Amino acid sequence: MRAVAARVSRASVTVDGTVTGAIDEPGLLVLLGIHVDDDVAKAAVMARKLHELRILRDEQSCATAGAPLLVVSQFTLYGDTKKGRRPSWTKAARPEVAEPLVDAVVAELRGRGATVATGVFGAMMAVESVNDGPFTVLVEV
């Protein structure tokens, strides 16, 4: 499981002209990719890491600051570009496997008390963010 976590002052996701998820205060925008070998146990570990990741201002985490997260599924994080000019997606989990695992990460975060907004799995989404810093890290479990 792989995530790109960006510290943002605000972020939103729009699908077909409608905002489907937004955070209007400092927090994390999380682009989340699911690998073919991922499982629910990894979802729990990823949720804990994201919630406790100390990249907000003053080395705070979403857990300590009560900051929200916007989680957006992003299968392209497992695009392999080593050969040729066209990425290979063989390491990205199929939608029927990936969607429940994205939902599991979100549920784990909410179970930890986090405020979580989301995109729409599989939809063509317009993601907007105002990066703070910018401060962006890759998180893998």
Q: What is the pLDDT of residues 41-55, one digit of tens each?
A: 999 999 999 999 999
Catalytic site includes residue 76: yes
Catalytic residue among 76, 81, 115, 135: 76
CB within 8 Å of 65: residues ≥ 6 apart: 26, 56
Catalytic residue among 14, 60, 64, 75: 75
CB within 8 Å of 118: residues ≥ 6 apart: 13, 20, 21, 70, 71, 72, 106
CB within 8 Å of 19: residues ≥ 6 apart: 12, 13
Separation between Cα atoms, residue 57 and residue 134, nearest integer Å: 11
Q: What is the pLDDT of residues 1-59, one digit of tens each?
A: 999 999 999 999 999 999 999 999 999 999 999 999 999 999 999 999 999 999 999 99
Q: How confident is the model at residue 99 (pLDDT cuts 50, 70, 90)?
A: very high
Average pLDDT, rounded, for the chain: 97
CA dihedral (8, 53, 113, 108) positive or negative: positive
> Which residue's structure tokens are 């729409």?
120
Catalytic residue among 74, 81, 121, 135: 74
Q: What is the largest CA-CA distance in the chain?
A: 44
Return the percentage of the chain with pLDDT > 90, whole number: 99
Catalytic site includes residue 81: no
87-91: Cβ within 8 A, 24+ apart: 90/36, 91/35, 91/36
Helical (H) or strand (E) element with 114: none
Catalytic site includes residue 60: no
* Number of Cβ within a 10 Å radius of residue 112: 16
